[in-house]
């Protein structure tokens, strides 16, 4: 009970820091909006083949899936090394705060930031690029569970990956290439079925490809399933892949997470 109360207190503190830090606010929160405006303005009206689907409609699904990655993985994998370096984690360790409260704070921050981000992304898409919103309750249900599983998986992976940057400074340089490579290979910036086979196979190992595909099932008409590589949005398989990554992420985070910088015992 106490842990939960302190954890919720940390959500507020984490959010204040997330939004007040300009770099974090731009890089983790505003970036998908900026990309949607740029890509939507350049390619937005183009139709994908003769499917009747605009690039904007396709792209917004990829941007929402990317938003999961930005607010959880990229955010945590950059901010935790900084907190390890500047003394935040050391200070918290000395307080009676249960360690679980720290992770509750991080998870809560990620969820709130994502909800705010998706809301703005959709608003921008609807207002400027004529995005159609899902209407069926099935699509909305899919949107919710895909978001939740995706956030949990990428939050755990972000916590685990936070041990890779040795220093807070320069952490972004070790994190954003991972994000960019996954985005390019997972059908965020390009239509996934147009990518070379090996690239598709590579991306299928990681959760982002499945998130973008599932988000397309939410934002594209049912007929668009025919454009997918296997002729289906593969929602069942998506759930399975995400659950496997959650288990893997939990193991990696538990084994590798550290409170102190490397080289100090």
Partner 1 sequence: MSSAPVITATDVTKRYGDFTALAGVSIHVDTGECLAILGPNGAGKTTLTEILEGYRQRDGGQASVLGVDPNKPTGAWKAKLGIVLQNATDMADLTVSETIKHFARYYPNPADPDQVMAAVGLTEKANSRNGKLSGGQRRRLDVALGIIGNPEVLFLDEPTTGFDPEARREFWVLIDRLKSNGTTILLTTHYLDEAQYLADRVAVIARGRIVAQGAPDSIGNRGDAIVTWTEAGREQAQSTTTPTAFVEELSSRFAGEIPHLAIRRASLEDAYLELIAQDRQTNGGDAA
Site size for partner 1 (CB under 8 A):
22
CA–CA separation, 197 and 238 (whole Å): 19
Q: Say if CB 159 and CB 106 are below 8 A apart.
A: yes
Shortest distance in whole angstroms from residue 264 CB to partner 1? 8
- Entry field: residues in the chain: 265
47 strand-pairing partners: 54
Segment near partner 1 (CB under 8 A); pick from 1-9, 44-52, 193-201, 241-249: 1-9
At a CB cut-off of 8 Å and minimum separation 6, what does 189 contact?
39, 59, 62, 183
The site map against partner 1 for 67-106 (x = CB under 8 A) is ----------------x--xxx-xx-xxxxxx--------
Specify the 3-state DSSP secondary structure of 229: coil
258 contributes a contact to partner 1 by CB under 8 A: no
- Rounded (10°) CA dihedral 222, 119, 78, 184: 30
Nearer to partner 1, 25 or 37 (CB): 25
Q: Say if CB 53 and CB 47 are below 8 A apart.
A: yes
20 contributes a contact to partner 1 by CB under 8 A: yes
6 contributes a contact to partner 1 by CB under 8 A: yes
Specify the 3-state DSSP secondary structure of 143: helix
At a CB cut-off of 8 Å and minimum separation 6, what does 137 contact?
none
Nearer to partner 1, 30 or 181 (CB): 30
Shortest distance in whole angstroms from residue 101 CB to partner 1? 8
Nearer to partner 1, 15 or 148 (CB): 15
Nearer to partner 1, 21 or 132 (CB): 21
Shortest distance in whole angstroms from residue 259 CB to partner 1? 9
Nearer to partner 1, 165 or 187 (CB): 165
Closest CA to 117 of 243, 30, 225, 219: 30
Three-point CA angle 126, 109, 154, nearest 5°: 80
CA–CA separation, 76 and 66 (whole Å): 15
Segment near partner 1 (CB under 8 A); pick from 11-19, 188-196, 204-212, 229-237: 11-19
Shortest distance in whole angstroms from residue 117 CB to partner 1? 19
Segment near partner 1 (CB under 8 A); pick from 3-11, 118-126, 183-191, 221-229: 3-11
Nearer to partner 1, 5 or 262 (CB): 5
Structure tokens at 259: 């409170």
Site residues for partner 1 per CB under 8 A? 5-6, 9, 13, 16-17, 20-21, 83, 86-88, 90-91, 93-98, 260, 265
């Amino acid at each position: 009970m106490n842990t939960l109360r302190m954890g919720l207190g940390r959500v507020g503190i984490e959010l204040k820091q997330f939004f007040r830090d300009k770099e974090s606010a731009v890089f983790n929160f505003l970036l998908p909006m900026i990309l949607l405006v740029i890509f939507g303005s350049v390619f937005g009206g183009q139709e994908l083949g003769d499917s009747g689907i605009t690039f904007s409609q396709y792209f917004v699904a990829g941007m929402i899936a990317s938003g999961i990655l930005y607010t959880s993985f990229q955010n945590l994998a950059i901010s935790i090394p900084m907190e390890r370096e500047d003394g935040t984690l050391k200070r918290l360790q000395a307080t009676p705060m249960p360690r679980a409260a720290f992770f509750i704070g991080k998870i809560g921050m990620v969820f709130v930031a994502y909800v705010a981000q998706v809301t703005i992304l959709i608003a921008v898409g609807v207002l400027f690029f004529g995005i159609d919103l899902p209407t069926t309750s099935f699509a909305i249900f899919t949107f919710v569970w895909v978001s939740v599983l995706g956030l949990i998986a990428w939050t755990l992976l972000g916590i685990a990956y936070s041990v890779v940057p040795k220093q807070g400074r320069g952490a972004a340089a070790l994190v954003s290439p991972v994000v960019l490579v996954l985005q390019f290979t997972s059908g965020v910036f390009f239509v996934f079925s147009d990518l070379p086979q090996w690239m598709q196979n590579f991306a299928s190992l990681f959760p982002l490809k499945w998130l973008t595909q599932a988000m397309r099932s939410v934002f594209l008409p049912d007929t668009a399933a025919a454009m997918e590589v296997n002729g289906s949005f593969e929602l069942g398989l998506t759930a399975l892949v995400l659950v496997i990554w959650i288990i893997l992420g939990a193991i990696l985070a538990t084994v590798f997470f550290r409170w102190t910088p490397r080289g100090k015992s």
